[in-house]
A and B are shown apart, each in its own frame.
Chain A
Amino acid sequence: MPKLSRSWWHGFFVIAAIAGASALTLVSLRDFRREAQPPENRPIQSQVAGYVTSNACRACHAENYASWHGSFHRTMTQVATPGSLPDDTGRLELAFEGRQYKTERHGDKFFVRERPEGGSYGQPQQVVLVTGSHTLQVLWLEAGQGRTLKQFPFAYIVAEKMWAPVGETFLLPSDLKEYYSLGAWNGACMDCHVTQGQSRFVEGNKWDSQVAEFGIACEACHSEGREHVERNRNPIRRFKLHLTTKSDPTVTNPARLKGPDSALDCGQCHSVWAFNNMPDKIDFNRHGAAFRPGAHDLAQRFVVQPNAPDHAEQKDFIRRTEPDFFSNRFWGDGMIRVTGREFNGVQASPCFRSGEFSCLSCHEMHLDSPGQTSLQTWARTGQLKPKMDSDAACLQCHKDMSARLVAHTHHAADSSGSRCYNCHMPRTTFGLLHAMRSHQVSSPSAQESSAYGRPNACNLCHLDQTLAWTAQNLRAWYNQPAPELSQDDQTIAAAVQWILKGDAGQRALIAWGMGWASAQKIAGRDWLYPYLIYTMTDPYAAVRFDAWKSLQTLPGFSGFSFTYTATDRSLSEAAARAYEKWLREVRDENAVYRPETGLDSDGRFQQDVFQRLRSERDNKRIILAE
């Protein structure tokens, strides 16, 4: 064999190295292309005209990007991954309406198998998206019809670390089993849970949905960024803007808008809205929202305020075609009663008329004072500005009030009755299993309760007092005319009436309110046990949940175990167990029960009152949902 020269070997190694490197590059390129192919079984992020996504914003606005990244707006819809799903998603075995569900994890993908009663497990369906973040997470499955999504019947309640049927995580009648139908995410949820979504209906139940970005990203509030990015590649332009106080016309900064326009930016999602007409609905579905931050109206849509004079024709149409639309969203006087629609309340507030008041009066979308609170705390507390969880929020404008606080409130300065929020923004909205503060700034009145059934701020704290007591004090302190009240309103505590004979929404508010520390301090705790235990058998799961959570705040019931989604029989057994525990172990024999509470001297129900109020319960169907 001839001996190869040294230079031949050198040449050989060079060629081999080049060939090896080329082969590796080709393999990487093939994998990259395979990864880059968008999935076909779910909505995808796509190039929507003018939108550049938060990735493009990050380089120049690192701080704002970081605080947005830590917010729950970002995670409002995410692609299903091990990082975005609850930890136990891959090992669930759950049953719902006679069907068994088993989840599996393969690599970074999650699948659900479904078994009908008496049948066997079917083909795995991939979990593709997750909607919701800090309170509730709803999982979405591929449906085998393009990018149409199907709801996984269980939602994850983050605070409780538990799974519950989706229908039992909203305030819904018990017969409404599957709240989100096939394609509901594409047709409705994505209107607000993504940035510039395009539902893109195809046919039947098939959708080809695309989004600019999953979650609520920069461009949802600042408008599309392509022009902003392109024009600001010019450093001279940027430095000109840095050295002046001028706004950059290529992008919207909601903080620089007038109050109503700034608030509408939030209101594009945080409101009850409806389409102007069918062509606008089709346009929205096909091309996404025409509204851009800074505009004075929602373009294809309008904010539905029941008593406002605008869009009368459209509201009449809604009344005719969906008679419960208003009662499932608003109190009788037009005040919003569901959470997540805060703009309706803000817009109807007297403060709003000043033209300066907006969501940004109290909230901030980027953490502006990082030293004062952690990103996590800020995100978990409604992205409030520093001190905006106190009277400071209202004192920004009502500066004189701090000097005459006690004269105004008729409560001690350090009492919860002297906190602006408690009287003017009481918890009269409900959703996602909890009561939330009304964002319609108002003054408490007995009239709002007697005429519209809305629990007033006074009786939400003074749970053991009658409506007549409230009316009398409001007349004495504020010269409010007292409404004509029933005999019950004069003798039975308002909260007792609401929790026994109110509609499901009223019952939920009181069940939650009985766990409120401020109310317990004022109204006492001893008498709350029987009502909360009884309410654990309420026909509405959300009401039962709040009764259970409030019961856990009372001495002797911390950590009390209760499955609020169980069968009626199990619920009754659990309530009986709780009642026995209270009666035998927890009840204070020296406790005094005021007659207004409807309890006798032993703390048991006055049966005639209890039975009568229960029989008068308002059983109309209530849906307070997202």
Chain B
Amino acid sequence: MKNSDRNLRFGWWSLLVYLSLGLTLETLHGFKIGWYLDVGNEIRRLMFTLGHAHGTALALVSIAAGLTARNVSGFELRPSVSFALIWAAILLPGGFFLGGIVTYGGDPGLGVWLVPVGALLLFYGVARFAIDLSKLK
């Protein structure tokens, strides 16, 4: 499978997952679930919201990367970039979600440590993508 195809497929499936999680959050709001909405659960709410927002945005980034690679002639999506963008879209929002499940007062749970790893992968993937695109004649 070509890298661009992998990113496209991953992008659409992850978009479905993260939008579904968004629906779940809206349901928690709708039924006024204290576990999510109480003042003491502010960090959980923040983590889940960040997870949902980042997941959705990174799914779109993955789709955009796949479409760009398909439509820009002469441009090849590096395997490392494809890998970085996909794992960034897993680790970064996943870290937020995991960090929100168990919280310590004003601190998220240990899962939040996945976020900086995902952020580094994202930074690498986007930077490399931009450089490669700029080098095209």
Q: Interface residues, chain A, CB within 8 Å of chain B?
A: 59-66, 235, 238-239, 242, 370-371
Classify the interface of chain B: helix, strand, loop or mixed. helix
A239 touches B107 (CB 8 A): yes
- Pick the residue among B42, B104, B110 that contacts A62 (CB under 8 A): B42
A239 touches B106 (CB 8 A): no
Q: Is B72 an interface residue (CB 8 A)?
A: no
A66 touches B40 (CB 8 A): yes
Q: What does the 1/0 interface line of B58-101 toward A look like (CB < 8 Å)?
A: 00000000000000000000000000000000000000000000
Q: What does the 1/0 interface line of B32-47 toward A look like (CB < 8 Å)?
A: 0010001111110000
Q: Do A60 and B105 form a contact, CB below 8 Å, given A66-B39, A66-B40, A239-B110?
A: yes
A63 touches B38 (CB 8 A): yes
B104 touches A238 (CB 8 A): yes
In addition to A62-B40, A64-B105, A238-B107, 20 A-B residue pairs with Cβ atoms within 8 Å of each other are A59-B106, A60-B105, A61-B105, A62-B42, A62-B43, A62-B105, A63-B40, A63-B41, A63-B105, A64-B40, A66-B39, A238-B104, A239-B104, A239-B107, A239-B110, A242-B107, A370-B34, A370-B38, A370-B40, A371-B34
- Pick the residue among B34, B38, B41, B107 that contacts A60 (CB under 8 A): B107
Classify the interface of chain A: helix, strand, loop or mixed. helix
Instruction: Enumerate chain A residues within 8 angstroms of B34, measured Cβ to Cβ.
Output: 370-371
Instruction: Enumerate chain B residues within 8 angstroms of A60, measured Cβ to Cβ.
Output: 105-107
B39 touches A63 (CB 8 A): yes
Number of A-B contacts (CB under 8 A): 34
CB of B72 to closest CB in A, whole Å: 34
Instruction: Enumerate chain A residues within 8 angstroms of B39, measured Cβ to Cβ.
Output: 62-63, 65-66
- Docked Cα-Cα span, A62 to B37, in Å, equals 12
Question: What are 28 A-B residue pairs whose CB atoms fall within 8 Å in the complex?
Answer: A59-B106, A60-B105, A60-B106, A60-B107, A61-B105, A61-B106, A62-B39, A62-B40, A62-B42, A62-B43, A62-B106, A63-B39, A63-B40, A63-B41, A63-B105, A64-B40, A64-B105, A65-B39, A235-B107, A238-B104, A239-B104, A239-B107, A239-B110, A242-B104, A370-B34, A370-B38, A370-B40, A371-B34
- Docked Cα-Cα span, A370 to B35, in Å, equals 12
CB of A373 to closest CB in B, whole Å: 14
- Docked Cα-Cα span, A596 to B17, in Å, equals 81
- Docked Cα-Cα span, A56 to B39, in Å, equals 16
Closest to B43 in A: A62
Q: What does the 1/0 interface line of B14-46 toward A look like (CB < 8 Å)?
A: 000000000000000000001000111111000
- Docked Cα-Cα span, A66 to B40, in Å, equals 8
Across chains A and B, which 4 residue pairs bring their CB atoms closest together, nearest first?
Answer: A63-B40, A60-B106, A66-B39, A242-B104
Instruction: Enumerate chain B residues within 8 angstroms of A238, measured Cβ to Cβ.
Output: 104, 107
- Docked Cα-Cα span, A292 to B105, in Å, equals 24
- Docked Cα-Cα span, A235 to B106, in Å, equals 11
- Residue from the set A62, A65, A371 with the largest chain B CB neighbour count within 10 Å: A62
CB of B126 to closest CB in A, whole Å: 25
- Docked Cα-Cα span, A235 to B43, in Å, equals 15
Instruction: Enumerate chain B residues within 8 angstroms of A66, measured Cβ to Cβ.
Output: 39-40
CB of A498 to closest CB in B, whole Å: 47
Instruction: Enumerate chain B residues within 8 angstroms of A370, measured Cβ to Cβ.
Output: 34, 38, 40
CB of A256 to closest CB in B, whole Å: 15
- Docked Cα-Cα span, A371 to B40, in Å, equals 13
- Docked Cα-Cα span, A66 to B105, in Å, equals 12
- Docked Cα-Cα span, A59 to B106, in Å, equals 6
CB of A343 to closest CB in B, whole Å: 29
Instruction: Enumerate chain B residues within 8 angstroms of A64, measured Cβ to Cβ.
Output: 40, 105
